Amino acid sequence: MDRLFRADNSAIKSLKDNIEKYHLETVRNTTLKDIMIILFIGMGGTALGHVFADWLGPWFELRMGWLKEYNLTSLASGFFWLVVVATTVGVLLSFTGLKHYEGAGASKIGSAMLYVLVATIGMKMNVTAIFDTPGLFLMGFIWMFVHVIVLLSVGILIRAPFFFSAVGSQANVGGAASAPIVASAFSPALAPVGVLLAVFGYALGTYMAIICAQIMQVVSM
C-alpha cells in the first residue's frame, strides 16, 4: 500500500523512535494513589457533566418553542450536555500537568472504562429494532463508503504512509477498542498512537456528531 501511495515511510520510523523515547521518559510503577487519582479525574469530570446537564437541560426545555423553530431540540436533552461537558473537561485537562498520569497507566484504565461504557450502551439496545429501521443501515453503508473514499483519496494525495490511513480509520470507526490493535500490527511501540488517535476521534466526534445530527434533521424536513 505504501508503494501504491508512493509514501515516505521515514515519518513512521521517526514517530516510532519518539514514542519509545517518550514512553521511557514518562513510564513509572503505578501506585494505589495513582489509580485513585486517575479514577477521581474521570469520575469527577463525569460528575461535573451531570451537574451542568441537570441545570442546562431544564433551562433549554423551558425554551422548547424557540428550539423547535431552529431545529435545536437536542439542546434540551440532559444526556446531550452530559456528553459535551464531560468531553470538554477531558480535552481541557489534557493541556494541564495531569497529562503526565499517562505514564502511570491512565490510558489502560481509560480503555477499561470505555469497555464498561460500551457494555452499558449495549445492554440498553433492542436488537429486534434493527428490522424496524433498515434505512439507518443503508445510511450507515453510504457513510462508510464516503469515509473510505475520502480517507484513501487524501492518503494518496498527500502520499501519507498507509499506517495513518489504517489507524486513522479505526480511530474514527472502532475507537479505542480497535485502533491500538491495528497500530500494534505495524509495531507494538506504535500502539499508544492508536490510543491517542482514538481519544482524539472520540473528542472531535462528539462535536461533529452534533453538527451532523443538525444537518440530517434539516435535510429530513
Global confidence as pTM: 0.65
Q: What is the pLDDT of residue 182?
A: 83
Spatial CB neighbours of 152, under 8 Å, sequence gap ≥ 6: 165
Q: Which three cell numbers stand for residue 27?
A: 513510564
Name the residue among 41, 1, 3, 7 with its Cα closest to residue 157: 7
- Of the two residues 75 and 58, the one the predictor is more confident about is 58
Q: What is the pLDDT of residue 177?
A: 67
Q: What is the pLDDT of residue 17?
A: 81
For residue range 160-196, list pLDDT tens digits in order.
888 888 888 888 887 766 787 788 778 777 777 887 7
- Of the two residues 178 and 139, the one the predictor is more confident about is 139
Q: Which three cell numbers stand for residue 40?
A: 477521581
The overall longest dimension of the chain from CA atoms, in Å, is 58
Q: What is the pLDDT of residue 48?
A: 93
Write out the DSSP string of 84-140.
Answer: HHHHHHHHHHTTSGGGGGGGGTHHHHHHHHHHHHHHHHHHT--GGGGGG-HHHHHHH
Tell how far CA 175 is from the center of its chain: 6
Query: Over the chain, what is the mean pLDDT?
Result: 82
Mean pLDDT for 128-150 is 85
**Cβ atoms of 78 and 53 closer than 8 Å:** yes
For residue range 80-104, list pLDDT tens digits in order.
888 888 888 888 888 898 888 888 8
